[in-house]
Amino acid sequence: MDKKRQHTNVWDIVATKFSKVGPSYWNVFGEHLVELSNIKDGGVVLDIGMGRGASLFPATKKVGSDGRVIGIDLSGKMVHETKVELLEKSIENAKVYMMDVKNIRFDEETFDYIISGFFITYLFHSEQKLNNISKMLKKGGKLSFSTWGEQIDQKWLTLIVDKYIDKNTSSTGIKYNTVESIINMLKESGFHNIRVHEEQPHVIYRNSDEWWDEMNSNAFRGIIEEIAKMGMSQLDSFKIDVYEGLKEFRREDGIYIKMSVIYAFCEK
């Protein structure tokens, strides 16, 4: 099974609970991205890698009844769950589709805005980079996205994971987790009026159990399952190590984890 299929399978597994367990930071980051994107009433928006709609739902409010939002995701389960929620909320100005962004099926110059929460930088490593994205934007259209910065408060976790899983640590090229690297990529892709900044909010968990449950409902679930395949004793040992590591971030009212988020905005 290739890496893309493995990654998609993890998102299929966690789709029901993703962003519904623990602190609602996915929704907070999604709403913040849309707010900063300055989406206007009547706009046509594409949300790439929309997941459970953290950016999609607030975008539907911005475009109003005269606009529309289209969300795409490679995970069929994510698309299904988001579609159900759209129906439950009687939202009529949005549609979602299972689609690979590398084989995207929209006409050129279709969208006023393209947004993406924590996904689009994966395309920076591809041969086409952002060429297809640019083609789908109207002249003067805006691209806005969020991505993870360097996660200082997660280095302890990486060290623990490396004890249990032998990762290929060979270089995979430039890491697009800095403001400078993202600005350079956007310039190379022909975008202008580029604005990129980094924020470092704290995400607060009530306790270690909530942290563990939330990590089981996002992409980290793949790591947990990989260790579980080695046997329950290995998984138990891993969990003990993780809980010990979390003590460093414990305060009186919870566990504080700083998450670095980069927001980028540019025009075609």
Q: List pLDDT tens digits, range 81-117.
A: 999 999 999 999 999 999 998 888 899 999 999 999 9
pLDDT of residue 152: 93
Burial class (CB in 10 A: 0-12, 13-18, 19+), 154: middle
Question: Burial code of 77-91, b = ≥16 C-beta within 10 A, e = fewer?
Answer: bbbbbbbeebeeeeb
- The angle subtended at Cα 115 by Cα 95 and Cα 108, nearest 5°, is 75
Using a pLDDT cut of 70, give the percent of the chain over it. Answer: 94
Kindly state the tokens that stand for 164: 């249990």
pLDDT of residue 48: 97
Question: What is the pLDDT of the chain when averaged over all its residues?
Answer: 93
pLDDT-derived band at 132, boundaries 50, 70, 90: confident
Angstrom distance (rounded) from CA 242 to CA 211: 10
pLDDT-derived band at 138, boundaries 50, 70, 90: very high
pLDDT-derived band at 51, boundaries 50, 70, 90: very high
Is residue 172 pLDDT above 50, yes or no?
no
Q: Pick the residue with more confidence: 196 or 172?
A: 196
H/E run at residue 170: none
Domains and CATH numbers, the chain: 3-151+175-202+259-267 (3.40.50.150)
pLDDT-derived band at 44, boundaries 50, 70, 90: very high
Q: Cβ atoms within 10 A of the Cβ of 6, count?
A: 11
Question: Burial code of 7-44, b = ≥16 C-beta within 10 A, e = fewer?
Answer: ebebbebbbebbbebbbebbbebbbbbbeebebeeebb
Kindly state the tokens that stand for 172: 């995979």
pLDDT of residue 171: 41
Range of weakest confidence among 94-98, 125-129, 195-199 = 125-129
Give the number of residues written for the chain: 268
pLDDT of residue 167: 66
Angstrom distance (rounded) from CA 241 to CA 232: 14
Is residue 7 pLDDT above 90, yes or no?
no
